[in-house]
């Protein structure tokens, strides 16, 4: 669990973890420099439950992705067999660990323990007082787990960290998280999709609390489309996001190669095509994406994504 100024909700979240039907777990918490009494509250719980462990280091503020990277490295050092990600402000259902652990173990029986594996579930979207906003976080956000594949994940993240769990193989492959990775959950999803397997659990296993302090809160599909199409500033943001995702793809290929893993040729070609798309002639760019089945899952978003890549190409060629 990565925390930062989470005093308002931290007690409720940790208590929901302590109430899990599966009791054999250890919760590692790293605070990222909170200015409220988050740390004091965690320390109080730590004194009453030895399964809760607050990390103490002098690394300072690392941001959300950096904080989770440090936590993942700790999990490697502690020989964790499976890793579950927790936000500071959600509430877990009592069966969350048991259901996701069973799903991971069943996948390992089919795929082997050496295969990088990730499972993720739906969430109940709630407000600050835990009043339901949407029965399905996935539906509300316009995500498409059934269509999830590497071609989609290269362009957009569709895996929510606090709803995810991974096995030891993926943990070792993903750690440390490179600076080019946009978020830990996106990085994990890319690695699992390209080298292993992702499985979706369609039932909600936690309440995702939507409030003003969320680093990355839930946004409805139509809100995102509206902002994307009608805000010039948002177009610029999306262009930056695309450039960042291209760098992320390049680092993905590098990580797999340096860890000695051999990808299927089609997977390698897909990653290379996206990472190097700005080196392709503008007129051939969209055809390359289509040939490799690379694009966002929603038709409108895919069209806008391709249009922006074309615009980026024209600017690059004009220099």
| pLDDT (tens digit per residue) in 194-238 | 999 999 999 999 999 997 655 445 555 555 555 555 555 677 788
Q: In this predicted structure, what is the pLDDT of residue 152?
A: 97
Q: Beta strand pairing status for 52-54 and 117-126?
A: unpaired
* Residue closest to 304 by CA, chosen among 293, 312, 292: 312
3-state secondary structure of 22: coil
Q: In this predicted structure, what is the pLDDT of residue 161?
A: 95
Q: In this predicted structure, what is the pLDDT of residue 226?
A: 59
Q: In this predicted structure, what is the pLDDT of residue 228?
A: 55
Q: Is 82 exposed, middle or buried (0-12, 13-18, 19+ CB in 10 A)?
A: buried
Q: Give the phi and the psi of residue 248 in degrees, each rounded to 5.
A: -65, -40
Rounded Cα–Cα distance for residues 145 and 20 (Å): 26
Rounded Cα–Cα distance for residues 276 and 312 (Å): 13
Q: Beta strand pairing status for 117-126 and 197-209?
A: parallel
Domains of the chain, residue spans: 2-209, 221-318
Residue ranges of the chain with per-residue pLDDT less than 70: 212-233, 313-319
E strand or H helix at 270 = helix 265-275
**41-46, Cβ contacts within 8 angstroms, sequence gap of 24 or more:** 41/7, 41/10, 41/11, 42/3, 42/10, 42/14, 45/11, 45/14, 45/18
Rounded Cα–Cα distance for residues 145 and 123 (Å): 13
Rounded Cα–Cα distance for residues 147 and 85 (Å): 23
Q: What is the pLDDT of residues 56-66, one digit of tens each?
A: 988 888 888 88
Token couple for 69: 């990277």
Domain 2-209 belongs to what architecture?
A: Alpha-Beta Complex (3.90)
15 in Cβ contact with 91 (< 8 Å): no
């Amino acid at each position: 669990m990565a925390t930062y100024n989470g005093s308002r909700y931290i007690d409720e979240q940790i208590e929901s973890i302590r109430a899990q039907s599966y009791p054999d777990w250890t919760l590692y918490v790293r605070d990222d420099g909170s200015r409220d009494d988050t740390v004091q509250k965690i320390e109080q719980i730590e004194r009453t439950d030895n399964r809760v462990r607050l990390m103490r280091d002098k690394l300072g503020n690392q941001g959300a992705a950096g904080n989770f990277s440090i936590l993942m490295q700790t999990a490697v050092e502690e020989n964790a067999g499976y890793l579950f990600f927790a936000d500071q402000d959600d509430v877990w259902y009592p069966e969350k660990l048991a259901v996701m652990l069973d799903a991971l173990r069943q996948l390992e029986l089919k795929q082997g323990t050496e295969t990088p594996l990730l499972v993720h579930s739906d969430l109940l979207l709630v407000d600050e007082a835990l009043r339901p906003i949407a029965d399905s976080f996935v539906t509300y956000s316009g995500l498409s787990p059934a269509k999830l594949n590497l071609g989609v994940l290269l362009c957009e993240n569709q895996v929510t960290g606090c709803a995810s769990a991974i096995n030891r193989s993926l943990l070792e492959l993903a750690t440390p998280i490179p600076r080019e990775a946009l978020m830990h959950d996106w990085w994990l999803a890319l690695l699992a999709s390209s080298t292993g397997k992702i499985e979706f659990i369609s039932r909600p296993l936690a309440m995702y609390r939507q409030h003003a302090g969320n680093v990355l809160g839930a946004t409805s599909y139509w809100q995102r489309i509206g902002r994307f199409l009608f805000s010039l500033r948002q177009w610029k943001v999306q262009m930056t996001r695309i450039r960042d995702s291209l760098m992320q793809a390049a680092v993905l290929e590098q990580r797999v190669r340096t860890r000695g893993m051999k990808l299927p040729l089609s997977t390698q070609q897909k990653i290379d095509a996206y990472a190097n798309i700005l080196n392709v002639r503008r007129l051939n760019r969209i055809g390359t994406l289509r040939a490799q089945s690379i694009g966002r899952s929603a038709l409108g978003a895919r069209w806008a994504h391709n249009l922006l890549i074309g615009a980026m190409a024209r600017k690059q060629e004009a220099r």
